[in-house]
Amino acid sequence: MKSVILQIFFVLCLLIATAYLTLAERKILGAVQLRRGPQVVGIFGLLQPLADGLKLLFKEFIFPRNANKFLFFISPVISFFLSLLTWVVLPVAPSIAIGDIKYSTLFLLAVSSLNVYGIVLAGWSSNSKYALLGAVRAAAQMVSYEVSLGLILLFIFIAASSMNLCEIINAQKSVWFIIPFFPLAIMFFIAILAETNRTPFDLPEAEAELVAGYNVEYSALAFALFFLAEYSSMISMSILFSCLFLGGTLPLFGSLPSAMWLAGKTICILFLFILTRATLPRYRYDQLMQIGWQIFLPIVLFALPIFCAFIKLSL
């Protein structure tokens, strides 16, 4: 009973963090664009996420006339469930995770690759050309960048001699991996932008061509689940970046709790997510694929054997 209560509390905290990430994004975008952002509902607009959530909760759920109703309903549930599942292996304190398994990074990669199923089912079951095109775009985009993500992770596995996130964090006690692997960290950040369908790679949701992409037919709570899944994935990918390249829970100085260090590093990566949206235009789809297959993949494939040979010679 106690573990169930802790899990429910953890999910509630995650939902609140996701909701207020949307408020932070709107505030930062407003500041960049020289406007105020949300400020009417509550002091400084702090109740705006709750108002938006209640609005979506009480809206009418509409099924398109020719949609596959079961798949149309279950698709956002799959996406939201998989976005929550990635949190199982993410560390919350030194050497502590909800599910501390030996191959936690591979588990994360596997779950993130399954996210595409919820999106593809949503696009197909909506019986809409715009939704289907958005789903096809998302599938190709996510699969393309997962190849680069997996190869970049190989560098971290070799350097840390482990696939466990807690052990990877402990391997950075002498130096954070962002220092020797700075180019890979930049590539990893760009790849997780594409993996989470964020600007400038938000082509599955391009308003100009696809209206709103794979979730164009969704409303009410189903749309809210897709929305929460996207922002939850943003937070989990930011934590993953912090653990792989910024030492995760390891402190830089002082005696602050390790969880606060992880939160601070994650907030910095989330700020980069939002700042990227505020400053960069959307890429064309052929440019997106060119970056993944013609730039990232050849660079990583060329660098990996050189790095392995260097490690072999240094032993």
Same domain, 198 and 279: yes
Dihedral, CA of residue 251, residue 256, residue 262 and residue 263, to nearest 10: -150
Q: What is the pTM of this model?
A: 0.90
Confidence of residue 238 (pLDDT cuts 50, 70, 90): very high
Count of CB atoms within 10 A of residue 86's CB?
23
Final residue before a domain boundary, out of 35, 58, 81: 58
Say yes or no to pLDDT of 47 above 80: yes
Does any domain span residue 64?
Answer: no
The pLDDT tens digits for 61-70 are: 888 888 888 8
Same domain, 39 and 111: no
* Segment of 120-124, 145-149, 182-186 carrying the highest mean pLDDT: 182-186
Does any domain span residue 13?
Answer: yes
Confidence of residue 188 (pLDDT cuts 50, 70, 90): very high
Same domain, 243 and 200: yes
Nearest alpha carbon to residue 107 among 157, 149, 163, 145: 163
Same domain, 18 and 85: no
Query: What is d(CA 22, CA 25) in angstroms, rounded to the nearest whole number?
Result: 5
Mean pLDDT over the full length of the chain: 84
Same domain, 40 and 145: no
Nearest alpha carbon to residue 53 among 93, 15, 26: 15
Same domain, 7 and 131: no
Does any domain span residue 66?
Answer: no
Q: What share of the chain is helix, strand, coil (3-state, %, to 5)?
A: 70, 0, 25
Same domain, 13 and 89: no
Does any domain span residue 63?
Answer: no
Does any domain span residue 258?
Answer: yes
Say yes or no to pLDDT of 203 above 70: yes
Same domain, 54 and 76: no
Query: What is d(CA 272, CA 274) in angstroms, rounded to the nearest whole number?
Result: 5
Same domain, 6 and 50: yes
Q: How many domains does the chain have?
A: 2
* Predicted pLDDT at 241: 93
Same domain, 34 and 79: no
Does any domain span residue 271?
Answer: yes
Domain span at 5: 1-58
Same domain, 115 and 33: no
Confidence of residue 257 (pLDDT cuts 50, 70, 90): confident
Same domain, 181 and 271: yes
Q: What are the backbone angles phi and psi of residue 93, rounded to the nearest 5°?
A: -160, 170
Structure-block tokens of residue 116: 């595409």
Does any domain span residue 65?
Answer: no
